[in-house]
Amino acid sequence: MNLRIPGPTPLPREVAEAGGREMINHRGPEFADLIARTTEGVRRVYGTENEVLTLSASGTGGMEAAVANHVSPGERVLVVTIGVFGNRFAEIVTAYGGIPQLLEHEHGTAADANEVDRILASDPSIRTVLITHNETSTGATNVALPRIAEAVRHHDRLLLVDAISSLSSIPVDVDGWGLDVVVSGSQKGWMMGPGLAFISVSERAWERQERCTAPRFYFDLRRARRSLEAGQTPWTPAIPLLFQLDRALELMFEEGIEAIYERHRRLARMTRDGVRSLGLELLAAEGVESDTVTAMRVPEGIAASDILRVAREEHGTVFAGGQGPLGGKIVRFGHLGYVSEEDVSSGLDALAGTLRALGFAGAGAAV
């Protein structure tokens, strides 16, 4: 089955198999070496001087760690949302007793730095801004993130970034842009299985944690930091996944981070061109299209569920549908992580064949 969804992504054979290595003691020297090496590797991919921690949880667990360690109950925060995952950030804030003010955007569009600047200038009670870098649900990237981060720093607020489906595939200049807390997830560009979340923490964020009154234990970053100094994690970590990470990082550095970015840019362009040439419309507005996932509008007269079913059953290719309010309205094509030109090409062929089978006229232009 050809997985063309925006995560979980296919794994290189050797990464998958690394998960089957012999088990080790999480309190012993082999583990200390492993966690030191993977932490350094993840930090190199992050390109940051900040500390980076690895949590045994999915990306949402990383988002919860970002919230629970930095947003106190009763605190007002600005959540810049351009889709389902931005809304999820707000839901987590609410679950933890914070008060999210939503800066919402139409699906497929991205945020504007001036708006963020204006809100922060007019509302000093907002101490924290949360934002999704790459919105997996719409295939749009917040390309203004550097300028938004500049505004946040100008107003001396804290910035928490969900970079789950961008970091490692799309450039994120953590230190250059001044991002305080940045979350990523293992099943996206990292070429490994789901189950690990990564989170970088700036000096300002560590200070905030000391005053943060939200409850946290499993996701307490201060505990994780202290354990890491001793070559450990506070709780027994998902060791098979750390084995996969270890191997995946080697492959990433062999290819080179810049080459990985370039590959993602190229394959994203190829996907967009292919989708358009099939006569389909992209959900993302021009200039904010994501380089990791492409969302296309389902043409009139065709059911999204039929596209997913036929692609799967007749072409062995798995696409993703729309989430929440976008259910039935879009189909998403993932092109991140361990993905090649051939993968994208065969994904486009599967899409073309599917649309033809469903009688979509525009599909004649394909292949």
Q: What CA–CA distance (Å, rounded) separates 35 from 308?
A: 39
Q: Are 152 and 113 in contact (CB under 8 A)?
A: no
**Closer of 336 and 363 to a second copy (Cβ):** 336
Nearest distance from residue 124's CB to a second copy, in Å? 26
Residue nearer to a second copy on the CB measure, 114 or 236: 236
Q: Give the nearest distance from C-beta 79 to a second copy in angstroms.
A: 14
Is the separation of the CB atoms in 298 and 275 below 8 Å? no
CA distance linking residue 325 with residue 306, whole number of Å? 18
Using the minimum distance from each CB to a second copy, give the nearer residue, 127 or 247: 247
Smallest separation, CB 53 to a second copy (Å): 15
Token pair belonging to 112: 């504007």
SS3 90: helix
- Smallest distance, Å, CB 135 to a second copy? 16
Looking at beta carbons only, is 148 or 197 nearer to a second copy? 197
Residue 333 token pair: 């094509």
> What letter would DSSP give residue 180?
S
Q: How far is the CB of 10 from a second copy (least distance, A)?
A: 6
Where does this chain bind a second copy (CB under 8 A)?
A: 1, 3, 5, 7-11, 13, 16-28, 30, 56-61, 64, 68, 73, 91-92, 95-97, 185, 187, 193-195, 214-220, 234-241, 244, 312, 318, 320
Among residues 290, 270, 267, 286, the alpha carbon closest in space to that of 278 is found at 270
Tokens of 194: 């789901």
96/177 with CB nearer a second copy: 96
Classify residue 289 by its DSSP letter.
B
Give Cα 180 distance to the centre of its chain.
16
Closest CA to 86 of 163, 201, 153: 163
User: What number of other Cβ atoms are within 10 A of residue 133's Cβ?
Assistant: 24
Output the smallest distance, CB 305 to a second copy, in A. Answer: 12
Name the residue nearer to a second copy (CB basis): 64 or 75.
64
Minimum CB separation of residue 156 from a second copy in Å reads 27
Residue placing its CB nearer to a second copy in the complex, 23 or 342: 23
Structure tokens at 286: 């021009």
Alpha-carbon gap, residue 366 to 364, rounded angstroms: 6
186 vs 241: CA distance, rounded Å? 9
In angstroms, rounded to a whole number, what is the distance separating the alpha carbons of residues 244 and 13? 10
Q: Judged by CB, which is closer to a second copy: 217, or 258?
A: 217
Report, in Å, the least distance between residue 30 CB and a second copy. Answer: 8
